[in-house]
A and B are shown apart, each in its own frame.
Chain A
Amino acid sequence: MIDFALLLFLVVCALAAIQMKDLLSAIMLLGSYSFIMAVVWTRLNAVDVAFTEASVGAGITTILLIATLSRTKRREMGQTVPLVNSVIYGVVVMLTSAVLLYGTIDMPLFGDPGAPAYQHVAPRYIEKSYEETGVVNFVTAVLASYRGYDTLGETAVIFGAGMCVILLLRRKI
């Protein structure tokens, strides 16, 4: 019940943000979209994803978009797309979403203990990670020991992205 209400809220928010000609209002609506999305993630018990959604989606993205807006115009240009193009875009989007929906049919149910993710490597991590790495928390063991180089690469990417943002937003001297 509450999930349906939240999802409907998300759809209305997204459509309104697309339709809005005033870009500042569209940014504000996207912020509320992110907040509601974070609640949906929390309902699915994915607290860390919800945390990221709230801080990145509602916090940083809003600020970055407003910073972008302060360098450009606030109003959307009155540009009309030809009807043929919109039909082509619509067909492509419908086809893609049909393929994606078809792909979800084979997925296991939410929280299904027989899902492949809980059968393949998870038991090994749970049983052996302390012996092999000496880290008490096995999520930390996976992130920092088994996939240590992967995490190092991710950190480098995030550092590079942060540097690029600082360079772009730096005040011109």
Chain B
Amino acid sequence: MFDIAATVITLAAVLVLYRAIKGPRVYDRALAVNIIGTKTVVLLALIGFAYGRPHFLDIALVYALMNYISTLAFLKYREMGRLD
């Protein structure tokens, strides 16, 4: 069960990776990378479930925050042209 779910999610991440590499505009790439980060969070929750360690969910939450921070930095750079 875990294998099937994990494989499907990895497949979804691979599909998105195609857009991240190919994506004509940089916004496509940003969105794709954001989605890959989300898939990572789900995968981490699944691994925590499979290993029987529910505190992985807290780590998954931190990953979601990290994903948000890098996207925020990217958008600020695109809008302002600088980060400071």
Binds B, one of A30-38, A82-90, A109-117, A124-132: A30-38
User: Which of A5, A35, A43, A51 lies in contact with B36, CB distance below 8 A?
Assistant: A35
Distance A129 CA – B59 CA, assembled complex (angstroms): 29
* Contact of A67 with B by CB under 8 A: yes
| Chain A, interface SS category | helix
> Given that A24-B74, A51-B62, A63-B70 are known contacts, is A42 also in contact with B47, CB under 8 Å in the complex?
yes
* Contact of B30 with A by CB under 8 A: yes
> How many A-B residue pairs lie within 8 Å, measured between CB atoms?
108
Interface size on B, residues (CB 8 A): 38
User: Which of A16, A36, A66 lies in contact with B83, CB distance below 8 A?
Assistant: A66
Q: How large is the interface on A (under 10, 10 to 19, 20 to 34, 35 or more residues)?
A: 35 or more
Contacts of B57 in A (CB 8 A): none
Question: Which 8 residue pairs across A and B have the least CB separation, nearest first?
Answer: A62-B70, A59-B66, A32-B36, A35-B40, A70-B82, A16-B21, A28-B33, A63-B73
B residues with CB within 8 A of A: 3, 6-7, 10-11, 13-14, 17, 20-21, 23, 26, 29-30, 32-33, 36-37, 40, 43-44, 47, 51, 56, 59, 62-63, 66-67, 69-70, 73-74, 77, 81-84
